[in-house]
A and B are shown apart, each in its own frame.
Chain A
Amino acid sequence: MERRLYFKLSFVFITHSCLIISANSSEVPRPRGVSISRAPLYNPEKDFTCFDGTLTIPFSQVNDDYCDCSDASDEPGTPACPNGSFHCTNAGHKPLNIPSYRVNDGVCDCCDASDEYANSNVNCANNCNELGRSAREEALKQAELLKAGKQIRSEYIQRSSQIKQEKKDMLSELEKNLSEADKVKNEKQVLKDQVEVLENAALQKYREIEEAEKLKKQEAENAKNREEATETFKLFDSNEDGKVDTSEIRTRQTFDKDRNGEVSEEEAKYFLNEKEELGLEEFISDGWSRVKPFLMMDAGLFKPPVPEKEEEETEQVEDVHDDIEGSETEPVEEIEEHESVEGEGEEIDEDDEEEEEEVTEEPASEPVKYDEETQKLIEKATEARKEFTDAEKEVRHIQAEIKKLEEYLEKDFGPEDEFAPLEGDCFDYEDYEYIYKLCPFDKAVQKPKSNSVETRLGVWSNWLGSEDNKYSSMLYDRGQSCWNGPQRSTHVRINCGSENKLTAVSEPNRCEYLFDFTTPAACKEAESDTQEDLHDEL
């Protein structure tokens, strides 16, 4: 298949050179706007029949600037038919077919100026030779690029199979390590459980003491509450009849809930649990809980939140965040990666959790004094716990590594894995304001030049090309959301080039980015076909 394509290409090349020669030496007689290959269809000796067979006209009506044929075949050299096509020979360069509405419209479309023949005011110069020369130079360059690109591509394929093998080896090694580590973890668990049973038994008596103390505290609290309630009751019971009634409540402005200046009967009743009056015990059980908040508010104990306090709190969180990041032993790069995937907000939350865990691990504020034997047990148990946690960590670490490798091996790096060597690299493109970065199979980001804050334009999703050309386009989606807009996403068009390079970036729709990326990995035979098409546009 590939070989045949190549053959066809060289054939095309030969016909082109023939054409140039013949155009230079002898013109084949033919109507204006007709290519050499179609010249035999126009015979001046005979009447002309439209290509679609619908009409036969005298040959004098061919190119007479009147459209007779609905298929436009009688007017190859004039703009008379709306759907026609005009052929410029463009000797010295490539021939070109233009829509016939571009003929005689005052705009020079053919480099040989053949499309503007009617109006002497329009001066089109023939610049086919210059254009042809630079086009041929360009084509030569392209061919060399393609050749070099293909060379690199085959190296990529080799390299990626190596990388893949290495990763597979690593994976099986890690799987071995995992079962090893699992075993260790289980052993440590057994040890830990054993010593914890002993520790628990020893601590039991201390717990009982603690429990008792707690109960005592609770009782004291209750008593205090009761005392307060009783005092209030006495205060309220101004006629000292052993009951608090609505009239006594109504004298107190504190209970003017709707702030209309007086305490109504209903308002008063509310504080007496919807009754007219309450005795002491009833007051303590039913009334006090309603009365207390109002007394507290009156005393200024409830206040709307003070803004500064808020700020302090958030600031604390930030400090914690900073500290943790500073003390993190993992390489910085990984943190960034993590951030850019999860989003900053979430990260703070995670850090908070970590912080809390650490706090709970620390001993309680007032350390209890244990006897020597218990102390020893606790230390032993702590040691066992630590060993178990370490073992557990090791297992998790290996699992994470395995997952990473598996994800890598599942990624689609192209039919021959030729794109695999791009993974792990990033490529920059600078425009006036931003630096854009493409990290293939990972993410696309935008970074303003004035600072180093990255905006995520998308994370690797999948290949997006059409069925027959799947590997011509990539999608990175789930980027950061735009303010009042959609999540950012990025399409990457892949083209053959001798080096890996981000060549252009645009934003055709709001928050939808388009990258152009060249790479040798995309240099295949098929590329030369599009090269031909490009040429036609010139």
Chain B
Amino acid sequence: MFFFSGTVANMANLMRFFILLLHLIVSTIAVDKGNFKTCEQSSFCRRLRKIKPDNPKYFLDLDSLQLSDNSVEAELVNTDDNVKLKFSLTTLADDTFRVIIDEYKPLHARYRVEGALNGEPQVAKLELLERDRDVVSVKLGNNKATMTSDPFKVEFYQGDTLVAVVNSRNLFEFEHLRVKPVIKFKHPLEMQQNLTATGRKLIVIIDPHIKREGGYFLHEEALSNDYYIKTKDGNVYEGWCWPGASSYLDLFNPAVTEYYSKLYAHDKFIGSTDTMYIWNDMNEPSVFNGPEVTMPKDCVHYGGWEHRHVHNIHGYYYTKTTFDGLLQRTPNTRPFILTRSFFSGSQRHAAVWTGDNAADWSHLAISFPMCLSMAVSGFSFCGADIGGFFHSPDTELLQRWYQAGAWLPFYRAHAHLDTKRREPYLFDQDVQTRIRNALRLRYAHLPVWYTLFWEHSKTAEPVIRPLIYQYPSDSNVLDIDYQLLVGSSILVRPVVESRASTVNVYFPGGAQQIWYDIEDWRPYIGSRSVSVPVTMDKVPAYYRGGSIIPRKDRPRRAASLMLDDPYTLYVVLDAENSASGTLYTDDGYTYGYKNKDYLYIQFKFKDNTLTSSIIDKDAQYPTREWLERVVIVNPPKGIKHAEIKSKGLGTLQLQTSYTGEERSLVVRKPGVSMQEEFIITLL
């Protein structure tokens, strides 16, 4: 049709016109099959193609025959799956037969055309002609219907002439309504038991769209309580998301959040346990068929607010509701929630990830500026999907991502269902080793992260920091967003370039500031840019001279299994041979800290003496953690041994030993409990 719409009459157009015309003529003969799904790609078509006349599978069970004045009814049995259908033949006025075949108890009723008929047809009395085991024959005026049992067949005669046959070639097919079998995660409690047995926890995804389905308790309760967000006309808003037709709870209504948060109770959330936590995705809310893939701006919330006014805070209310729900479900236990949508205040409830990224070097690189921006805006608990969500990373990118991501607060490997599997154990030994090393380094630093998050909650200082945050007067760091500081003590330059053999690292802080490579304790002087050689095993990371870093260097299968493990203190001396740092610890999961059940410790090193002192004197926590080792980086020369003094230990001699060209000194096994204040003197 479109060739009639041309407006410019020149030769080129004319030629095209004729070519199109020719095309059309040709295409009536040969349609391009590529434009259509093949039968193979349509399950419906495939099923029908397979029906063969030589395989009759229906028989009419004449033992079940019920004869009335104007109808014949019997069970029609599909011998393949043994499903019984109701066959009925009714005799109507004007010598007409009517045949209806339907399921006895379908999953839901089938629509029957009513409007097309001028009322129900009038029935007429039938006459039984013949009935035996295989055949039943009935007469109506001059017409006759013969039903054969096996294979099922109905023949209609006018006088003696056969005029119509039902299922003459055994191609009759009736697909009964079926439910898809639900087979996945059949034993959620046992599954979680398997996970938690080794200290791991399950996080399940809960999204805000509610499937509009009759019989779904949540949908029905939301409808009857009027809990859904409305359209501008006051009807329940209906959008399209993962489950299909969906509606959305109006979380601006306090009654709704109260209702919704209670759904996290174990008797409502069947299969949940106290150690199961929540991932809130799609909570912008995401609506596939909405403008900008969200809800129309003129949808109306509780209080008459249009969606345009409250859109940005929708995700906040959603995670807050989850937070309240988890807290009600498992009192005195800190909820864990991962969210995609957030607002000011969401940092009190949830961690956030940077959304659906891709397995691409640029996406690895950008995750640092993204999380740094959020951190200085008040939201520190941020990370990107390791490996990239879409597409498949090569092994180099995957390794680099595990190494780099270990230095962002939220650390999660994730991938789209359709990507190639990428669990670390699927790769060569050397790839596995690098990923394992990255994970171990991450876990070793968990005390640092935990302490930083405690301080973050008290002072709002970001957990990760761009260089400009810590060194505002250094104009060299203004546009550095590819390096980051973890707290104020760890400087990281992730490798986000393919096949890198060197990377540039800028060391801030002035010439007096020395930074030490965390692998070999090599010193780097501040306010300089250095091209640092890297291998696949190397990610440049440095401790600041003057800092004390608490680590747990014993690897475990899960963070929860590290709870009682001993610490190693890395005391990194500055130019004045002094250093300081803090450590926060508690039981790791309750709100006991609100009742002063925690330890917040200050470490100071000065004049060859390391002292620990409790900062919050009124807080105490009976921890089983102890001090396993002290590593002095940039140590004083000529130390022979050390001495520890504490209330519990009294005074003890400790062995010391220099390692790595005397760049560090190890103090062997102080063995003191972390809840005790102590003094270690190098002698």
Contacts and interface: CB of A to CB of B under 8 A. Distances in A.
B391 interface: no
Contact of A107 (B14, B553, B555, B557): B557
A80 B420 contact: no
Contacts of A270: 14
Contacts of A2: none
A273 to B, nearest CB: 13
B9 A345 contact: no
A366 interface: no
A509 B421 contact: yes
Interface residues of A, number: 48
Contacts of A332: 54
A66 B21 contact: no
Interface in A259-279: 259-260, 264, 266-267, 270
B40 A343 contact: yes
Contacts of B421: 508-509
Contacts of B197: 107
B9 A258 contact: yes
Interface stretch (B44-52, B377-385, B494-502, B611-619): B44-52
Nearest to A64: B669
B9 A260 contact: yes
Q: Size class of B's contact patch? A: 35 or more
Contacts of B668: 66, 68
- Say whether chain A's binding surface is mostly helix, strand, loop, or mixed: loop
B5 to A, nearest CB: 7
B39 interface: yes
A510 B418 contact: yes
Nearest to B426: A508
A66 B199 contact: no
A344 B52 CA distance: 15
Nearest to B4: A259
B31 A344 contact: no
A266 B49 contact: no
Interface stretch (A89-97, A302-310, A470-478): A302-310
Interface string A497-538: 000000000001110000000000000000000000000000
Interface stretch (A142-150, A370-378, A446-454): A446-454
B628 A102 contact: no
B457 to A, nearest CB: 27
B183 A450 contact: no
Given A257-B9, A258-B9, A264-B9, A326 B199 contact: no
A107 B561 contact: yes
Given A106-B561, A304-B24, A258 B629 contact: no
Interface in A60-112: 64-66, 68, 79-80, 82, 101-102, 104-107
Interface string A290-307: 000100000000101100
B21 A105 contact: no
Interface in B38-65: 38-41, 43, 46-47, 49-50, 52-54
A433 interface: yes
Nearest to A109: B198
A508 B422 CA distance: 11
A7 interface: no
Contact of A259 (B5, B52, B418, B565): B5
Contacts of B24: 302, 304-305
A495 interface: no
A305 B27 CA distance: 8
A79 B565 CA distance: 9
Contact of B198 (A107, A344, A432): A107
Given A257-B14, A343-B40, A453-B47, A107 B199 contact: yes
A13 interface: no
Nearest to B566: A65
Nearest to B171: A322
A68 B669 CA distance: 10
B440 interface: yes
B49 to A, nearest CB: 7
Contacts of B418: 485, 510
A3 to B, nearest CB: 34
B309 interface: no
B1 A304 contact: yes
Contacts of B38: 344-345
B104 interface: no
Nearest to B1: A304
Nearest to B36: A314
Contact of A82 (B8, B420, B553, B628): B553
A310 B10 CA distance: 34
Interface string A411-436: 00000000000000000000111000
A82 B555 contact: yes
Contacts of B174: none
A483 B41 contact: yes
Interface string B406-423: 000000000001101100
Interface in B1-28: 1, 4-10, 13-14, 17, 21, 24-25, 27-28
A483 B40 CA distance: 10
Nearest to B5: A259
A329 interface: no
A27 to B, nearest CB: 28
Contacts of A260: 7, 9
Contacts of A322: 53
Interface string B557-575: 1000100110000000000
Interface of B: 1, 4-10, 13-14, 17, 21, 24-25, 27-28, 31, 33, 38-41, 43, 46-47, 49-50, 52-54, 178, 181, 183, 197-199, 417-418, 420-421, 440, 553-557, 561, 564-565, 624, 628-629, 668-669
8 contacts: A260-B7, A304-B24, A305-B24, A309-B28, A343-B40, A433-B183, A452-B50, A453-B47
The 7 closest A-B CB pairs, nearest first, are: A305-B28, A258-B9, A105-B561, A432-B183, A66-B669, A453-B46, A451-B47
Given A310-B31, A433-B183, 9 more contacts: A82-B555, A107-B561, A257-B14, A258-B8, A266-B9, A304-B24, A344-B49, A453-B43, A453-B46
